[in-house]
């Protein structure tokens, strides 16, 4: 399993004590989120304005009814906070950025897919676990991290083999699944308290059987994408 390292730009900055243990991961995520004083506007990210596009590897879940039901239940409870909920067909785990359409050629994308196909790990299961969050979002913890780290490392290796540069190494990858984005600067306490009331909901098991190369775009206060290639994990 790839080694993890601390990164002040990541959230949480420190990795969990045991990336193989879903309970330890969930507790670590909550410890970081529950001590926040302030939340930031997710949509004020530099270089990612409305209409921006980029190629990413991600995991999408349009056909996972239990996960969608959990997301909707949490979003309904959080509605009074005025967050921007992720649509049911927009639930995803972002893995790694490939580049933008003006810097990555179609030939490079084709080469990337070929390289990735030969490096991908086998299919696996994840638990989408008790709710926590970050500075800019409310999100589900995921566990165990180990298979996600292997997948991320393979995609980074394939990206580099194509002559492209991955924005973040696997060492600072912090897997999560966002349910709602924070859309203004605010005190964190009301959000933390609302999330705390939902942490007793049982986890949902999610099969990971394919990874998608997508062209992701920001559309207002929402992410949309077109799948360029879906590669099975066999």
- Rounded to an integer, what distance in angstroms lies between the CA atom of residue 160 and that of residue 117? 14
- Rounded to an integer, what distance in angstroms lies between the CA atom of residue 67 and that of residue 205? 8
Q: Does domain 22-228 have CATH number 3.90.1140.10?
A: yes
Q: What is the pTM of this model?
A: 0.95
In this prediction, what percent of the chain has a pLDDT beyond 70? Answer: 99
- 26 φ, ψ to 5°? -60, -40
Residue where the block lists tokens 């676990």 = 129
Whether 5 contacts 171, CB under 8 Å = yes
Nearest to 208 by CA among 158, 146, 115: 146
Whether 42 contacts 24, CB under 8 Å = no
Per residue in 20-65, pLDDT tens?
999 999 999 999 999 999 999 999 988 888 999 999 999 999 889 9
């Amino acid at each position: 399993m790839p080694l993890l390292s601390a990164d002040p730009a990541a959230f949480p900055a420190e990795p969990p004590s045991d990336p193989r243990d879903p309970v330890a991961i969930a507790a670590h995520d909550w410890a970081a989120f529950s001590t926040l004083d302030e939340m930031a506007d997710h949509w004020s990210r530099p270089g990612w304005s409305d209409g921006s596009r980029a190629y990413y590897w991600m995991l999408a879940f349009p056909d996972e009814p239990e996960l969608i039901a959990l997301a909707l239940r949490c979003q309904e409870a959080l509605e009074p906070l005025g967050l921007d909920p992720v649509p049911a067909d927009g639930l995803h785990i972002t893995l790694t950025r490939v580049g933008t359409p003006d810097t990555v050629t179609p030939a490079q994308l084709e080469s990337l897919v070929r390289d990735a196909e030969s490096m991908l790990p086998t299919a696996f299961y994840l638990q989408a676990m008790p709710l926590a969050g970050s500075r800019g979002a409310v999100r589900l913890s995921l566990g165990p991290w180990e298979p996600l780290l292997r997948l991320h490392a393979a995609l980074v290796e394939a990206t580099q083999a194509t002559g492209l540069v991955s924005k973040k190494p696997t060492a600072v990858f912090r897997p999560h699944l966002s349910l709602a984005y924070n859309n203004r600067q605010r005190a964190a306490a009301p959000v933390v308290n609302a999330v705390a009331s939902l942490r007793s909901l049982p986890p949902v098991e999610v099969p990971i059987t394919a990874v998608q190369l997508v062209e992701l775009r920001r559309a207002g206060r929402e992410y949309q994408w077109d799948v360029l290639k879906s590669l099975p994990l066999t």
